[in-house]
Chains A and B, each alone.
Chain A
């Protein structure tokens, strides 16, 4: 499997045993953020043990996970906006998480779900994209990159990976945006919002995108506003809004704004 080839794994394969992660944590920092895949369809005849707060695929209680990430295509490329909060239960593990992973200078990946899963597999994707470039002497397309990622995680389907990511970039067919998750979904689209705050974000972006031909400035404001509103209403999203713009030359980091500052700014504008 891909994992074993990257890491010279000297440990015994406990994959059958380790399906259920035992968390005795009164330490809390599992840094789960964002969308968790619905793996609860498997039948389980085992009685729940006393420590049944399990995060494995047999999980019965659906937890809403803390994150809001969104990306949308527009005339001048793709806007990617994310929050920066990581929660472990009701403890905020960090307010400064980087949920946008820079795969290469023209491809971005967002992070929702298990932080380690997202950052590991997207880092592996960066490696695969580079190998593609070296072999084929041209940049990889967004469709191909997202397919590589989807195929990599599909091998681990059902084993408890949790990853909901959007692969955003610009290739020779123009702006590209794909949603890939650990369930095996891979969809192309113009607008995605992922996470517990996604519904709030969708509301803002859907109403703002009505007018065609947004300028870069307007699109950035729309993305920022959408994440801000999501952090306002969703307890599990917050921290800062990180905004990226993907255009024909690659991606640029537009801004990082603290949500409290944005709040004061919008209040002032209202007045």
Chain B
């Protein structure tokens, strides 16, 4: 499995991440790539009776920023929000497809899809494109049938599992360890495992994104937080570093 640490417009980087010589001679195969990487970070946390889905709002490509106001959370139902990061074109198409499928389900079954059902459906939608994947990292946050918070995280081809918290997107490797420590109490001894309440969770999400914006070029501008409770979905916007 690989990690591609170079940026998308990396004409100057060779296979192993070292700078290539500028005077490279010889045939080079150029090929149209149907994908591009638009950055962005998504985070979801599940609480006892709430779920939070948060994303930054920066849309980038290479060295440029296309938009500072392009949130990556999409409301699916009254109890479910999805966060999609990766290639923006696929994010848009995927959310359109999910919306259509939700509508079809509602018309044939006369009820809204539950979070778990949406997650299972998304898995098959993603796997349907197993040989030309949607380049999207999805995280679904919502309430399950018992009213408890649920988070489902996906890989681009549809493998998924239910979590308590998950970070996805460009700054995921920076955020996930922090969440492991603060929410999962991992690698801490002698600490009381206090359950997370909504105010603390929201504050934690804000702090964590501020940190991500410091160190990840693709994350910043603003933070959009969607809080899902049985009363409905509340949205909050918090400014982040714009540089």
Contacts and interface: CB of A to CB of B under 8 A. Distances in A.
B188 to A, nearest CB: 13
A131 to B, nearest CB: 18
B190 interface: no
B11 interface: yes
Interface stretch (B28-36, B69-77, B105-113, B193-201): B28-36
Contacts of B85: 27
A47 B86 contact: no
B130 A24 contact: no
Contact of A7 (B5, B8, B10, B128): B128
Contact of B158 (A25, A32, A116): A116
A50 B14 contact: yes
Contact of A26 (B128, B153, B170): B170
A31 B155 contact: yes
Interface in B150-200: 153, 155-159, 161, 163, 168-170, 172-173
Of A18, A26, A114, most B-chain CB atoms within 10 Å: A26
Contacts of B157: 30, 114, 116-117
Contacts of A7: 124-125, 127-128
A264 interface: no
Main secondary structure of the interface of B (DSSP, over half): loop
A52 B31 CA distance: 12
Given A46-B29, A52-B15, A116-B126, A27 B131 contact: no
Q: What size tier do the contact residues of chain B reach?
A: 35 or more
B127 A120 contact: yes
A51 B35 CA distance: 12
A28 interface: yes
B78 interface: no
Of B1, B34, B163, most A-chain CB atoms within 10 Å: B1
A49 B31 contact: yes
B37 A3 contact: no
Nearest to A29: B155
Contact of B137 (A19, A27, A89): A27
A161 B218 CA distance: 32
Interface string A79-117: 000000001111101101110000000000000001111
A247 interface: no
B132 A17 contact: yes
Nearest to B41: A27
Given A24-B37, A28-B172, A91-B3, A50 B11 contact: yes
B4 to A, nearest CB: 5
Given A50-B10, A115-B159, A116-B158, A55 B2 contact: yes
A84 B153 CA distance: 16
Given A3-B130, A50-B10, A116-B126, A31 B159 contact: yes
Contacts of A161: 130
Interface of A: 3, 6-7, 9, 11, 14-15, 17-19, 21-32, 46-53, 55, 63, 65, 87-91, 93-94, 96-98, 114-117, 119-120, 159-161
Please name the 9 residue pairs, one residue from A and one from B, whose CB atoms are nearest each other, closest first: A18-B132, A115-B159, A89-B3, A116-B159, A53-B2, A116-B157, A14-B132, A7-B128, A18-B131
Given A29-B168, A119-B158, 9 more contacts: A6-B124, A21-B133, A22-B135, A26-B4, A26-B7, A47-B27, A91-B3, A116-B126, A120-B130
24 contacts: A11-B129, A15-B132, A22-B33, A25-B3, A27-B85, A29-B137, A30-B1, A32-B1, A47-B27, A49-B31, A50-B10, A55-B2, A63-B1, A65-B1, A88-B1, A96-B161, A97-B161, A98-B161, A114-B157, A114-B159, A115-B159, A119-B158, A119-B159, A160-B131
